[in-house]
Structure 1
Amino acid sequence: MSSIPGHRKLHLVLLGTILLGYFACLFLLYYDPSTSWALSPVNSRQQTEQSNDIVSNRSNDDVITLLMWTWPSEKRGELNWCSSRFNIEGCFITQDRNFYNKADGVIFLHQYIYKNGSNLPKLRRPVFQKWIWLNGESPTRSVRIPMIENLFNLTSNYRQDSKIPVPYGVLVPADGKEEFVLPRKNKLVCWIVSNWKPIYARVKYFNEFKKHIKVDTYGSAFGVHISRKEYLSTITSCKFYLGFENSIDRDYITEKFYNPLSVGTVPVVLGPPRHNYENVIQGDAFIHVDDFSSPKELADHLLLLGKNEEMYLRFFEWKRYFKVRRIFFLTEHVCVICEYLRKHKEYQTLSKFGEWYWEN
């Protein structure tokens, strides 16, 4: 048997060395060093073991695994609420970062991303995985972070042009045509607010408005505490509620609008233009400050409506056909995202993210 020439032996040794190095790089690239980079599991050991069984087979299309990467600490604990609260099945939700390589989607709540991005994943994103940017705040109240411009596949927030839009509320068909019964009212105008800054347009408007009409005010901004139990009943007791947003941005229509609508109170809104609200509900269901030349003119109009029940009741004609369903912030977002990922397996990219949200 002839021996292998020396130069061929050298070539084989070099080839073997190259292949060994290649597979070593792959190992380091895809190895999951959870003991050094992941947070401690949030769920119990038993729940983690059960979760491993659920997501161990990536071919199982019945289960969508969502990893909450940045999340409010108070939301820790039991996370699998989609079935019990929203009748959305097959969602496994976790904050255990050991599931990173198995997750169909990783959700990043914008307010909890560090400005330097140091709390973002260090490992490469699996090719099947979506990174979802979630934000309930307006552009005005959201810090723009340049280094996240090209990180995400999907967006989910209140914007109608978000990839997975989840507004603060929606109108749904009423069960049947029923006559609206006006709740008992003992106040004309009310406002509950905690976030008070003199630079806000709503603060400037209110300071002039209150000179011409009595406003019952509540919240920490006015030193009057309102419990969660008292919140909706207080709004119900008022004929008009000041649904003044803290910033004026496209589609930014929050619970300040939907809460009074849901309990039979007329919202007086300060926010995006009237047509933006009319994408949600008919125009004679609310009052927009832009329809009046001054806060005094608005105050005079509310005083008139407060004395004329026939005119006032016209604001509720829509209630014969529709009702308001308020959205549960964050929890419902996650379940809607889960449902979206079940239907959309294709690879997706997100371009000009910052321009879309902060400049559009």
Structure 2
Amino acid sequence: FMWIWQKFLSTCLVLRYSNGESSGEQIPTILAWTPAFGSHVYHTWFQDRLRDEKCPKQCKFVPRVHERNHSIADYDAVVFHSRDVELRDLPKSRKSDQLYLLFSLEAPGNRAEETHKWFPPFYFNRTVGYSSLNDYVYDYDRLVDANLTKDAVKSKNHSILAIISGCRTASGRESLIKVLWAHLNITLRGSCYGKSVSGDELDNLIKTHRFVIAMENSACMEYVTEKAFRYKSLIVPIVLSRKLVKDIIPADSFIAVDDFDNVTEFKDRISTLERNEDEYMKYFAWMKREDDFGIRNKGVCKLCTDLHNRRSLIHSSLANAVFPDANLCERRIVDRLLEGETRVEWEQFVFKGEVLTLIFLLFLFIRRF
């Protein structure tokens, strides 16, 4: 029964994505061979992104269940998710002009990024991922239309929300959050704090908080996950570095930790935004613009266009697929900020010591006379 049901769903999807097919041009078909993040229907992510990019070309993305009644040669491209592809479960044959796409949204240095090294050279010949160094760029999320009123801001009666699942990270965000927690009002949620969050609870937390910690577990160029994209849910993300998220989310929609020399400066800025609604509302100026953030380079459309021009995709011209390396990651953003905080604390300590010394000397002087 389940096989019949899956077959029915697959057929419906193919029919759905075939709408608008011109009689003069065959629509390329892309097969999702592996699951991704536990999902067996992630091919719909690509189909939806193709629509969001307003691509003039059409392509069909289908799940692997569709392959049961087709030859692998029927597909123009096959997608493999880096965390789920296995050597013992690969297609048995391949066309010379068929693209094998390695798809990953992992940060450099993650074990999944080493996937291509387990396979023969040129097995995968294109990459899909968040970095602009990939052949086809696929951001974690995209900008949507939104609206925030001052009445809605009034319901945001809490300051900072932190939902953290990775407790020991390459970026060191946990050390910074610990320091910030001592200075600011932070609501801590996530497995690191023993308080998991459901979908409905998350929505409510976002509605009642002004800021959300959007520091990634790895501080790498262009590595911007759903954490930072929560800005579209009308909350201000706090990211580690401005340059790491450049051109991915609006520059005036977030607060970057590395804009400040120390925690004290950062704390003062948060305090100002808690008191001043007009200043806080400036972080939502993007709502009045027509920005296409989250669909940089229209990577899925580029893939579809390449497949329409597949005559030029001869096997000898295909590059060996590799992902961006860990050299694109920052190692000391948190350290530099905490060093600044230590310096401020030391200067305050020295100043207090000087004051106490003067008081003591004054006491001795008065006592003598």
TM-score (norm 1): 0.70
Change (3 A) 1:233 1:86: farther
**2:45, 2:170 → 1: CA distance?**
39
* Amino acid in structure 2 at the alignment position of 1:135: S
2:217 maps to 1:246: yes
- 8 Å Cα contact 2:125-2:320 kept in structure 1: no
Change (3 A) 1:242 1:73: closer
Q: CA deviation at 1:158?
A: 0.9
Change (3 A) 1:94 1:41: farther
Counterpart pick for 1:343 among 290, 308, 322? 308
- 8 Å Cα contact 1:91-1:338 kept in structure 2: no
**1:208, 1:357 → 2: CA distance?**
30
- 1:45-91 C-alpha deviation (Å, 9 max, x unpaired): 8967997xx99xxx984332222222148433696687789658551
2:229 maps to 1:258: yes
Change (3 A) 1:132 1:167: same
SS in 1 for 2:142: strand
Counterpart pick for 2:140 among 152, 161, 168? 168
- 8 Å Cα contact 2:163-2:188 kept in structure 1: yes
Structure 2: runs of 5+ lacking an equivalent: 329-369
Q: CA deviation at 1:238?
A: 0.9
**1:140, 1:152 → 2: CA distance?**
19
- 8 Å Cα contact 2:234-2:284 kept in structure 1: yes
Q: CA deviation at 1:100?
A: 1.3
- 1:201-236 C-alpha deviation (Å, 9 max, x unpaired): 111211111111120111222222321123233123
Q: CA deviation at 1:134?
A: 0.4
- 1:214-263 C-alpha deviation (Å, 9 max, x unpaired): 2011122222232112323312321111111111111101111111x112
Match of 2:282 in 1: 314
**2:244, 2:24 → 1: CA distance?**
41
2:169 maps to 1:203: no
Match of 1:69 in 2: 33
Match of 1:138 in 2: 107
Q: CA deviation at 1:300?
A: 2.9
2:231 maps to 1:267: no
* Identity, % of aligned positions: 23
Match of 2:83 in 1: 111
Aligned residues: 303
- 1:170-213 C-alpha deviation (Å, 9 max, x unpaired): 347x69xx885444201111111222226551112111111111
**1:356, 1:81 → 2: CA distance?**
22
Q: CA deviation at 1:269?
A: 0.5
Cα RMSD (Å): 3.9
Counterpart pick for 2:259 among 270, 287, 291? 291
Report which of the two has the higher share of helix: 2
Match of 1:9 in 2: none
SS in 2 for 1:241: strand
**1:236, 1:128 → 2: CA distance?**
50
2:189 maps to 1:218: yes
- 8 Å Cα contact 1:109-1:133 kept in structure 2: yes
SS in 2 for 1:284: coil
* Amino acid in structure 1 at the alignment position of 2:222: D
SS in 2 for 1:44: helix
SS in 2 for 1:108: strand
SS in 1 for 2:137: coil
TM-score (norm 2): 0.68
- 1:143-171 C-alpha deviation (Å, 9 max, x unpaired): 31323352222211111232211112334
Q: CA deviation at 1:296?
A: 3.7
**1:79, 1:253 → 2: CA distance?**
21
**1:102, 1:216 → 2: CA distance?**
52
